[in-house]
A and B are shown apart, each in its own frame.
Chain A
Amino acid sequence: MVLIPAYNEEGAVASVVEEVRAVVADATILVVDDCSDDHTIQEARRTGASVLPLPHHLGLGGCVQAGYRLAFDLDFDYVIRVDGDGQHDPRDIPALLTALQQENCEMVIGSRFLNAANPRKALLQGGWCRALGIALFRSILRPILGRPVSDPTSGFVGVNRKALEVFSRAFPLEYPEIEALVVLQRRRFRFMEVPCHIRERRAGKSSITAIKAFYFPVHVLLGVFVNVLLFPGSRIWRILRK
């Protein structure tokens, strides 16, 4: 299944669905609409995609988790998440799927920095503020995950059924990408990165406003910290289990 979370993406969602269909023609495409104010649902239905309309706005994590839950209920083996704003290039989907099927890992992340000709330039493409955040999270995640991760904020991810089961029960609700990695690490699941291409968003606007740009790292750091405290073997984890 290809899962497309969308919130007010009427300008982009139809072309994203069509592009995905052109690449993986026989895949089920599910658009999860996070209670958009515009015509996202109608645009997605027009292209023939299945639509899961949420009754009220849940935020990105809640929206993605709803899709994971449905995919798990319907017994899908693999789910690839593609953002509804057109930033992810669906031509990279086969690479993610192949890695999931062949590399025996639970999650594959599409990384815009892996194999980049100039990693520093690629990092600074989204602005210095975003670059600073990514660098910060890279350095925080490295000791937790026990290996480097080049693009921890990427929403272009694929998961297999084991990860799907975990995420359908517990998934971070806001800014979920980084915390999701720690949730997987808690269960000793494996992940890998494959290179992917990121494009300019087709329409709509980013949910990260100026105020949220400050709130985002605080929220994510706290979420990561709480998840680390719950790692099996930690003293707090043992106390909570008692």
Chain B
Amino acid sequence: MDRLLGAMTVASLLLIVLVLASVRREHIRVEYSISWLAAGLALLVLSLWKSLDQRIAIALKIPDLAVTLLTICGVVFLGVLFAFSLRLSQLKDSSIKLAQRVAILEFHVESLAAQRAINNTPARADAASAQGRLRASTDVPLKPGQSVR
């Protein structure tokens, strides 16, 4: 049991050092390091405070202390992973919306620029047309109420 607690102490210290080093190198942003640091600290406390582990084991009615510790570790890491899954999903949604918005705005800007070129100088319009950029504005009308036909 003491060897398991020792290994857990080393593992939690390694986790804390790894996370801090990653934050220092800006591989992980501070706000995303907090969950991992909290998990590492919780495991460190459990590994150093044997009487607390015994109390938890009694409360959970798990006779084996090692199984209790592994269960707690599992729950802590599942919690962290779930939190990150939520965050990843939010970020993916935002990234998709942003990419679509950027593409649509870019499309509108190019269309307006081409329209402006047509209105201002015929020579510039010809040049733009030669690059194939004017097609967008002429093909997709900017006026409302247009249908497929």
Contact = CB atoms under 8 A, between A and B. Distances in A.
Nearest to A51: B136
Interface in B135-149: 135-136, 139-142, 144-149
Contact of B144 (A49, A62, A75): A75
Nearest to A46: B132
B49 to A, nearest CB: 40
Contacts of A80: 148
B99 A56 contact: yes
B136 A66 contact: no
A53 B96 contact: no
Given A45-B132, A76-B146, A173-B96, A29 B103 contact: no
Interface string A114-143: 000000000000000000000000000000
B100 A28 contact: no
A58 B99 contact: yes
Interface residues of B, number: 23
Contacts of A97: 148-149
Contacts of B106: 53
Contacts of B82: none
A69 B148 contact: no
B146 A75 contact: yes
A54 B148 contact: no
A194 interface: no
Nearest to B143: A75
Contacts of B133: 45
Interface residues of A, number: 35
Contacts of B95: 56
Summarize A's interface: helix, strand, loop or mixed.
mixed
A106 to B, nearest CB: 15
A228 to B, nearest CB: 20
A114 B95 CA distance: 39
Interface string A44-61: 011011111111101000
Contact of B104 (A62, A69, A79): A69
Given A50-B140, A53-B106, 17 more contacts: A27-B148, A28-B141, A30-B139, A45-B135, A48-B139, A49-B139, A54-B100, A55-B99, A55-B102, A55-B103, A66-B100, A66-B104, A69-B100, A74-B141, A74-B144, A75-B145, A75-B146
Interface of B: 95-96, 99-100, 102-104, 106-107, 132-133, 135-136, 139-142, 144-149
6 contacts: A26-B149, A28-B139, A45-B132, A48-B139, A50-B135, A62-B100
